[in-house]
Amino acid sequence: MSLCRFIACMVLAGFVVDTVVAAPATLPAYGADPQQTSVSGLSSGAFMAVQLQVSYSGSIIGAGIVAGGPYYCAANNVLFTEICTGQVRSVRPNSLLMANAAKDFASAGLIDPLLNLTHRRIYVFSGTDDSVVRQPAVDATVSFFRHVGVQGENLKYVNTVPAGHAVITPSYGNDCSANAAPYISHCRVGSQAYDQAGAILQHIYGELHPRVDTPTGQVVSFNQRAYATAATGMAETGYLYVPQSCTAASARCKVHVAIHGCRQAAESVGNQFYTDTGYNNWADGNDLLVLYPQVNKSETPYNPRGCWDWWGYTGPNYAFKSSPQMKALMAMVNRLVQQR
């Protein structure tokens, strides 16, 4: 598989919303709870979700990883990306090596102490029919988290659903086994439609109020340039889903960061990514702000498919707290937790 083909395959899901409030100069402050931030993503977004959870384990309480490989798998070398997605059948990602690297980074103060991870809740998903990020790569992600101290019921691995490369929703998108755009599929597990957004959020936060059929909040667009320059590859505009309950002055909402994949930014799929994943349906009844940051296609840095950086195109510190993309994402979260 060529690098070009690999990056093209790392497309994530697409989702649609009806209205977007005009972009303010900066992201509004909502006084969110700083102890209730979580993250999830699919494919390149899943690799980024792993990086955020590991690097900022003191701040992020849980992660949902859908078809993503282990932390620092590419080791700042784009030539390793096919190994990290399971495309090289004879070579599997070495999760112990990556765990040892993470320990070294933590000792050097480049990432948060790994001891934090023993208290974090991690959901990992790999479809049995996924031909883009194959199960051996995702198996290595599970092994990595075990090596760094995530044990027992805190680590949930769903790997028996006959799904392709996709976010799984109850009814939207392709048939379950598809490995095709928009990389959103509907699957059933037994007699039940599988709701991946709900599975992720309830694994992280515990039992939640039921999802609503029709979200009643608003999508707010905001200027990402307040947090990231064009040199990071990030788009000018990001998006935030705001339930009505989170607009109250006294609200202490949770924050979930939902990360798209390659060619899934708004420039490529319009407003699809931030509606039909199902996160907004869960947000309404559970006081949950959902942040949808954006990365665009760019030649400088070289990122023609609009992927998040998990191999080093923004520089050698891409997996550390000093990563330009991760710093931007955490600055957005910190803005949401500021008092109004």
DSSP 125-177: E--TT-SSS-HHHHHHHHHHHHHTT--GGGEEEE--S---SSEEESS-SB-TT
Catalytic residue among 38, 55, 59, 130: 130
CA distance 8 to 115: 36
Q: Which two tokens stand for residue 245?
A: 């309950």
Which one from 38, 55, 57, 165 is the annotated catalytic residue?
165
Q: From the CB of residue 56, how many other CB atoms can be counted at a distance below 10 Å? A: 20
**How far is Cα 280 from Cα 245, in angstroms, rounded to an integer?**
13
Residue 298, helix vs strand vs coil: strand
130 is annotated as an active-site residue: yes
Active site residue 43: yes
Structure tokens at 74: 């590419």
Q: Which amino acid is at 232?
A: T
Asked about 260 being catalytic, the answer comes back as no
Q: Which long-range contacts (CB under 8 A, 24 or more apart) does 295-299 make?
A: 295/233, 295/234, 295/235, 295/260, 295/265, 295/325, 296/233, 296/234, 296/235, 296/265, 296/267, 297/263, 297/265, 297/267, 297/268, 298/230, 298/233
Active-site hit among 43, 59, 126, 298: 43
Burial class (CB in 10 A: 0-12, 13-18, 19+), 207: exposed
Q: Would you name the residues annotated as active-site residues?
A: 43, 130, 165
